[in-house]
A = this chain, B = another copy of it.
Amino acid sequence: MHAEIISIGTELLMGETVDTNSSYLGAELAKLGIGLRWATKVGDDPDLLFEVLDRAWRRSDVTLTTGGLGPTSDDLTRETTARVLDEEMVVQDELLEHLKGLFAGRGTPMPDTNIKQATLIQSADAIPNPLGTAPGWWVERGGSILVAMPGPPRELTRMWTCEVAPRLKQHNPGVAIVTRTLKTFGISEGGLDQMLTPLFQAANPNLGIYSKEDGIHLRAIATAETEDEARTLIEPMEAEIRRIIGDDAIWGEDDETAISQVASLLTGRRQTLGIMECFTGGLLASNLADAPRAAEFLKGSLVVNGAGVLAAQGVDARVVEEFGPASAEVAEAMAEAARRRFDADVGIGVTGLVTDPTPTSGPLGTSHIGFSIDGRTASTSGRYPTQRLRIRGRAVTHTLLELIQFLRRS
């Protein structure tokens, strides 16, 4: 079974909106074992849209569309689908009553332009959309499926998760995909590649290696008739990877992030965190503030801009003087000052420098990261050759991964 995605809207072609829907759906289709062959963006042009939809309907088992379900004359997904299938759009009383009810709830009468959101063609069912006025269409004829979903990501995600994915799964029985991702640190991509050479040759589970901003990921994908069988295939491979590279080299699994791991380590140990950040400019605190149960462990962060301010914020002026503001010693002194200032169990200090770019390279960032816990301090440093705006992000991820190691050892 293979699929095709069509993202509809002139704003997508003009670059005003980035099409994240097709990336989301691509990852979701893979989980259902449905191969995605093409994803096309097309504007609100009736003839171009017809051509793209018509080709998809003829060549793909499943066509997913997003966008173009609004009430205006620019929203053409329903009309064009009806034209491709050569069926007539008919207003459904039940859908119309529901829609009028939504507008009544907002205290405004429903404009006539919205009536088309209450239509269906004969081969289509309506798909409920509790988050918006546009129901989706599930179209099925002659073994082909076309699913029209709304463009706003919040509405799309809900409709996919609650309605479309479960129904598609029934159409693709006997294919269960189980994946297992192990997120590593401390071993290079080449090193992992060598250590695991025999495992990369297996066809099922298939093992992939991916260099990500938060380290090297190993991902095993097993395909079988049932989830249990797929899991039985994947478990020995995971055990073998863990035996070869060691549990210490693995910082997380599957959907776990550096943020969620730090949060679970700190809340599990009932420890709190205070931060003083110079290099990351508040980004470390704002990322941690989004963590689950952040209120329980994150006491605060002092974002300081410039070395002159450090002494006024409790960092020993002599250390700044002797080693310079961008140094491991100052990072440790900042970590201690942060721990004291926020009355926290663990302190982090981040300092560093961004060097101006040369003509052929981007700017280079060097950070110094200090940790402090119960009187013990440690520090590390990182270099990030990347775009200026991404240096802070790289430094934040680096800090979080080092914190996981530091906490595990403390």
Contact = CB atoms under 8 A, between A and B. Distances in A.
A285 interface: yes
A25 B15 CA distance: 7
Nearest to A18: B23
Given A282-B303, A309-B300, A38 B38 contact: no
A360 B102 CA distance: 12
Interface stretch (A86-94, A222-230, A291-299): A291-299
A27 B40 CA distance: 17
A27 B52 contact: no
- How many copies altogether? 2
Nearest to A27: B15
Contact of A305 (B12, B27, B284, B300): B300
Interface stretch (A41-49, A234-242, A365-373): A41-49
B38 A42 contact: yes
What DSSP secondary structure best describes chain A's contact surface? Answer: mixed
A36 interface: yes
Contact of A154 (B300, B313, B387): B387
A309 B303 contact: no
A155 to B, nearest CB: 11
A362 interface: yes
A280 interface: yes
Given A23-B12, A38-B42, A40-B40, A300 B302 contact: yes
A42 B37 contact: yes
B342 A309 contact: yes
A302 B299 contact: no
17 contacts: A13-B26, A14-B36, A15-B24, A18-B18, A39-B41, A40-B41, A154-B362, A281-B285, A281-B286, A281-B288, A282-B283, A289-B392, A290-B388, A290-B392, A295-B305, A299-B306, A309-B342
Contacts of A36: 13-14, 43
B360 A131 contact: yes
A30 interface: yes
A124 B312 CA distance: 62
A22 interface: yes
Interface size class of A (residues with CB under 8 A): 35 or more
A203 interface: no
B360 A130 contact: yes
Contacts of A327: none
Interface in A198-225: 210
A312 B306 CA distance: 23
Nearest to A386: B154
Nearest to A51: B38
Nearest to A297: B305
A229 B343 CA distance: 65
Contacts of A13: 26, 36-37, 39
A98 to B, nearest CB: 13
A389 interface: yes
A301 interface: yes
Nearest to A285: B282
A306 B363 CA distance: 37
Contacts of A284: 282
Instruction: Give 3 closest A-B pairs by Cβ, nearest first.
Output: A281-B289, A15-B27, A282-B285
Nearest to A300: B304
A370 to B, nearest CB: 18
A16 interface: yes
Contacts of A38: 40-42, 48, 52
